[in-house]
C-alpha cells in the first residue's frame, strides 16, 4: 500500500506565495516586502519611496498592522492606492493575507506593490509572500549590534536600508562596523544609508529601485 | 462515559509560569519580565538598574535572545550572575525556558531576577513567565504612535519606561501625547522617563523598583 506523504500541508504558505508570484507576473508587477522593528521608519520610507518613483512607476501599498489604519490613511492621503490588513494579534504577514489584498486592489497598470509587514525583526523573515525583494530597515537608534541577534532577517534580506542617519552624531552607532557585519552574513545584500528626515540618500535608493523594477 | 477535557494542554505555558511563581515565592525573589523592540535599550536599562539597586538588592539576570550571548557577557562583566537563553529562532520566551534558567541559577539570597525577553513588541506580551511585573520600554526613536499599533504590549505592561529621552530634541516625538494614549489603554500603568545615555530619570525608576521589591 502506498503511503501518503503530507509534506505539502506544512508548506501552505509557500504554495500561496507562489500563487501571488504568478498573479504579479501576469500583471507585470514587482513586489517589495518591507520589514523592520516597530518605529524603524517603514511608513516614512514608503512615503519617500512613493515620492521618489512618482512619474516613473505606478504604485500600490499593502499595509500590515496588528491593529489600526493610521499608516494606510497616510498613504491614501497622497493619492496612492492603499489597502490595510489587520492581523488581529499575529506578528507577521502570511501569503494568504497578501493574496486577499492583491485580489482587492485595482492592479490595472500597477508597476510596484509595496507591502509593509508588521513591525517585528523576527517572524516576518520566515514567511514568503511572493515578493521580488525582501527589504529591511534598521534605524540608527536601534544600535549596530543587531545583526548577530536577529541573524535570519539580516541574512535573508536583499536590501538593507539604514535609516535615521541624521541621528548618528547623537548616538554610539558605528555604521562601518554594522555594514561589515552584515556583508559577512549576506554576500549579496545592497545597503543604502538614508535619512527620511533630511532626505539624504533617498534618491540613491529610489534610483536603484526604479532600475530594478524596470529592468 | 465521561468525556475527557484536554483544556489544560493548551495552557502548558501557564502551568509552568505558576511553577516559576512558586519557585520564586519560596526563595522570596521578585521577577521582572522586560520587553521591548530590538534596540529600545533593554540591556542598557538592565545595566543602569543593576547599578541603581546595588547595595540594596542582590540581582540575577536571565538573558533571552534568538542567538548570541553579547548581552549576558556584558552583565556578567559587572559581577552580576547572568544566564543566557538562546531561543534558536523563536520570537519570545516561554515559561519553560525561564524555569530551566531559574533551576540553574544560584538563587541563594537573590532578591530580584530580571528577565530580558527577545526584542519584539508583539509575541512576548502573550506568554506569562511567572513574573511579578511586566515592564516595557519604548524608545523615543520608535515614535509616539506605537500604542495603537501594538495594543497588547501597552495594555498588559505594569510599567512603561520611555527611554532615550535625550533624543527628543532631534525627533518629532510627542511625549505628552504618548503618555495620554497609554493611560487611556492602561489605567494602572506606571510611566518613567529615562535616558540611559545621560542618566536622567534612572533613579526615579530604581527607587520605585526598590520599594516594590522590598514592599
pLDDT at A1 exceeding the cut of 80: no
pTM of the model: 0.85
Separation in Å, CA A99 to CA A94, A122, A175, B144, B209? 9, 22, 37, 31, 48
Residues B48-77: pLDDT tens digits?
Answer: 999 999 999 999 999 998 888 888 999 999
- CB of A121 within 8 Å of a chain B CB? The answer is yes
| Cβ contact A142–B145 (<8 Å) | no
pLDDT of A16 > 60? The answer is yes
The pLDDT value given to residue A110:
97
pLDDT surpasses 80 at A6: no
Residues 86-105 of A with CB under 8 A from B: 89, 91
Test B39 with A142 for CB contact under 8 angstroms: yes
Nearest chain B residue to A143 by CA distance is B39
Closest Cα in chain B, distance from residue A86 (Å): 10
- Closest residue in A to B151 (Cα) is A67
User: H or E stretch including B31?
Assistant: strand B30-35
Q: Mutation target for A interface from B91, B136, B153, B167: give the one with most A CBs within 10 A.
A: B91
Q: Which residues of B touch A151 (CB under 8 A)?
A: 66-67
Contact between B115 and B62 (Cβ < 8 Å): yes
- CB pair distance less than 8 Å for A38 and B145: no
Partner residues linked to B72 by β-bridges: none
By CB neighbour count within 10 A (0-12 exposed, 13-18 middle, 19+ buried), where does A93 fall?
Answer: buried
Name the class of domain B7-214.
alpha beta
Q: Give mean pLDDT, residues B13-23.
A: 94
- Helix, strand, coil proportions of chain B in percent (round to 5)? 45, 20, 35
Confidence of residue A3 (pLDDT cuts 50, 70, 90): low
* Chain A contact present for B63, CB below 8 A: no
At A88-142, the pLDDT tens digits run: 888 999 999 999 999 999 999 999 999 999 999 999 999 999 999 999 999 999 9
- How many Å lie between the alpha carbon of A148 and the closest alpha carbon of chain B? 7
Taking CB atoms within 8 Å and a gap of at least 24, the contacts of B172-177 are B172/B143, B173/B140, B173/B141, B173/B143, B173/B144, B174/B144, B175/B140, B175/B144, B177/B144
Size of interface A-B (CB pairs under 8 A): 110
| CB pair distance less than 8 Å for B151 and A66 | yes
Residues A154-206 have pLDDT tens digits of: 999 999 999 999 999 999 999 999 999 999 999 999 999 999 999 999 999 99
| pLDDT one-digit tens code per residue, B83-115 | 999 988 889 999 999 999 999 999 999 999 999
| Distance between B119 CA and the closest CA of chain A, angstroms | 8
**Pick from A38, A122, A140: CB nearest B118:** A122
Chain B hits for A171, CB-CB cut-off 8 Å, are 167
Amino acid at each position: 500500500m502506498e503511503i501518503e506523504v503530507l509534506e505539502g500541508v506544512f508548506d501552505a504558505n509557500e504554495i500561496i506565495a507562489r500563487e501571488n508570484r504568478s498573479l504579479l507576473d501576469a500583471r507585470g508587477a514587482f513586489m517589495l516586502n518591507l520589514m523592520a522593528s516597530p518605529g524603524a521608519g517603514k511608513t516614512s520610507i514608503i512615503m519617500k519611496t512613493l515620492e521618489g518613483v512618482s512619474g516613473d512607476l505606478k504604485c500600490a501599498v499593502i499595509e500590515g498592522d496588528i491593529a489600526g489604519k493610521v499608516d494606510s490613511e497616510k498613504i491614501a492621503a497622497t493619492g496612492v492606492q492603499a489597502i490595510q490588513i489587520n492581523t488581529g494579534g499575529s506578528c507577521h504577514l502570511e501569503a494568504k493575507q497578501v493574496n486577499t489584498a492583491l485580489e482587492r486592489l485595482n492592479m490595472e497598470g500597477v508597476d510596484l506593490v509595496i507591502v509593509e509587514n508588521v513591525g517585528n525583526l523576527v517572524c516576518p523573515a520566515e514567511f514568503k509572500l511572493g515578493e521580488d525583494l525582501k527589504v529591511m530597515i534598521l534605524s540608527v537608534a536601534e544600535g549596530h549590534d543587531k545583526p548577530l541577534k536577529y541573524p535570519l532577517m539580516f541574512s535573508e534580506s536583499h536590501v538593507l536600508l539604514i535609516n535615521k542617519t541624521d541621528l548618528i552624531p547623537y548616538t554610539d552607532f558605528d555604521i562601518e562596523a554594522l555594514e561589515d557585519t552584515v556583508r559577512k552574513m549576506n554576500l549579496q545584500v545592497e545597503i543604502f544609508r538614508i535619512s527620511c528626515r533630511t532626505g539624504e540618500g533617498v534618491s540613491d535608493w529610489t534610483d536603484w529601485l526604479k532600475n530594478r523594477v524596470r529592468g
